Amino acid sequence: MTDRSSPAILYISYDGMLEPLGQSQVLAYLEMLSDRYPIRLISFEKKEDWCRREEREAVRMRIEAAGIAWIPLRYHKTPTAPATAFDILAGAFVALYQVLRHRIAIVHARSYVAATMALLVKRVTGTKFLFDMRGFWADERIDAGLWPADSRLYRFAKRLEKRFLMAADHVVTLTQASAREIGTFPYLQGRKPAIAVIPTCADLDRFNRVGNARPTPFTFGFVGAAGTWSLFDQVLACFRQLIEVEPEARLLVVNRGEHAFIRERIGASGIDPERIELVTADHREMPLLLSRISAGAAVRRQAYSQIACAPTKLAEYLGCGIPCLANEGIGDVKAILEEAKVGIVLKDFSDEEVRSGMKALVALSREPDIAARCRTAAQRHFSLESGVAAYGEIYDRLAVSRRAGR
User: Which pLDDT score is estimated for 338?
Assistant: 96
> Would you place residue 2 in the very low, low, confident or very high pLDDT band (cuts 50, 70, 90)?
low
The predicted structure's pLDDT at residue 24 = 86
Q: Report, as an integer, the average pLDDT of 135-143.
A: 93
pLDDT band, very low/low/confident/very high, at 177 (cuts 50, 70, 90): very high
Q: How many CB atoms lie within 10 A of CB 149?
A: 8
Q: pTM to 2 decimals?
A: 0.88
CA distances to 66, 115, 120, 122, 170 from 167, rounded to whole Å, are: 31, 10, 11, 9, 9
pLDDT score, position 76: 94
**9-200+383-403 fold:** Rossmann fold (3.40.50)
CATH-assigned architecture of domain 219-381: 3-Layer(aba) Sandwich (3.40)
pLDDT band at 69 (very low <50, low <70, confident <90, very high): very high
Q: What is the average pLDDT across 92-96? A: 98
Q: What mean pLDDT is predicted for residues 190-211? A: 90
Q: What is the pLDDT of residue 309?
A: 94
pLDDT-based confidence at residue 126 (cuts at 50, 70, 90): very high
- With 60 as the cut, is the pLDDT of residue 3 above it? no
For residue 210, the model assigns a pLDDT of 80
Residue 243 has pLDDT above 60, yes or no: yes
Question: Residue 12 in contact with residue 109, Cβ under 8 Å?
Answer: yes
Domain boundaries, the chain: 9-200+383-403, 219-381
Q: What is the pLDDT of residues 393-406, one digit of tens each?
A: 999 999 998 877 66
Q: For residue 299, give every residue at least 6 positions away whose Cβ sits within 8 Å of its Cβ, in sequence order, or none.
A: 230, 231, 234, 235, 238, 325, 326, 327, 346
Q: Do domains 9-200+383-403 and 219-381 have the same CATH topology?
A: yes
User: Whole-angstrom distance between the N-terminal and C-terminal Cα of the chain?
Assistant: 29
* 3-state SS track over the chain: CCCCCCCCEEEEECCCCCCHHHHHHHHHHHHHHCCCCCEEEEEEECHHHHCCHHHHHHHHHHHHHCCCEEEEEECCCCCHHHHHHHHHHHHHHHHHHHHHHHCCCEEEEEHHHHHHHHHHHHHHHCCEEEEEEECCHHHHHHHCCCCCCCCHHHHHHHHHHHHHHHHCCEEEECCHHHHHHHCCCHHHCCCCCCEEECCCCECCCCCCCCCCCCCCCCEEEEECCCCCCCCHHHHHHHHHHHHHHCCCCEEEEECCCCHHHHHHHHHHHCCCHHHEEEECCCHHHHHHHHCCCCEEECCCCCCHHHHHCCCHHHHHHHHCCCCEEEECCCCCHHHHHHHHCCEEEECCCCHHHHHHHHHHHHHHHCCCCHHHHHHHHHHHHCEHHHHHHHHHHHHHHHHHHHHCCC
pLDDT band at 21 (very low <50, low <70, confident <90, very high): confident
| CA 393 to chain CA mean position, Å | 21
Residue 312 vs residue 38, higher pLDDT: 38
